[in-house]
Amino acid sequence: MRLFIQVLLLQIVFTSALANSTDFLPLPSTDLVKHTYYTLSYNEANEQANWVYYTLTDSMVLNGGAERSNKFKVDKLVVTGSAKTSDYSNSGYDRGHLCPAADMGFNPTAMQESFFMSNISPQFPGFNRGIWKELETNVREWAKQEHKIIVVAGPVFKSNRGTIGEDHVLVPGYFYKVIYDATDTPRMIAFVFPNEKTDRPLTDFVVATDEVEKLANLDFFSQLPDEMEDNLESKVDFSGWFEGYSSPEPLAVKSPDVKIDQQTSDTKFYLILISVLVLAILYVSVNRRKRK
């Protein structure tokens, strides 16, 4: 009977851990590099990330303000070797952060890791210091407003502008950013920008997440239930992100409880099924011993 109870407790703990998982890494998740506060998929051919993924909370933003490091370093966790800071020297392009240094200003480790070259892409100065920076500022405001958001950013390797440096770092034609707010009323917004200076407003560059997936050949937030994912990714909805906009129709998820139940994966289902079978076998075994 004691063994029966122990197995039951283990099953409950393991099921709870799966139900509370918030890992929404894009697919494909090849050549993963995991740092303390962000994860990326490295593209060796283009010497930069396919995507960078991280969670940003209000406390991270409110506790920010650490002095900018500016110490760009080779990422030793990239087994094939990352680009070098010298690749960008005299190239005419900025070392553009995908996970911004200003988002990682809440402790020294986060700040230092944001300057790994795996987190950097060649960006036209007017773009990096203009609308890309403006979006980064907005993202921090959204994190404070919603308490926690998930951010995915990366290059789009179309209409590229040649290469720079000895490592032949590809200069992407576009950049994207997708933001998911997984609070009581889930929301998602996506942006695609040409790698050039612009004076147009941020709202001009909002697209459906589905469009980013087509451009970048990636699948975002595939771990969400299909209906919820389709609803969030097929729309362009400014409400909750920009002032003066209201949602054209209600989102699929009506309560946090439904959201949590829907996020249960097929893996969890089979693990529970196996656990139930094990418990049944143990129960039968214990009863047989009692009869003897």
Residues forming the active site: 97
Cα pseudo-dihedral 47, 64, 220, 126, rounded to 10: -50
Q: Which residues contact 210 (CB under 8 A, 6 or more apart)?
A: 233, 234
Question: Please, what is the Cα angle at 112 between 108 and 115, to 5 degrees?
Answer: 155
Calculate the alpha carbon distances from 179 to 139, 146, 190, 272 in Å: 8, 12, 6, 32
Q: Which residues contact 84 (CB under 8 A, 6 or more apart)?
A: 74, 117, 165, 166, 167
Give yes or no for a contact between 174 and 159, defined as CB atoms under 8 angstroms apart.
Answer: yes
Closest CA to 38 of 26, 28, 47: 26
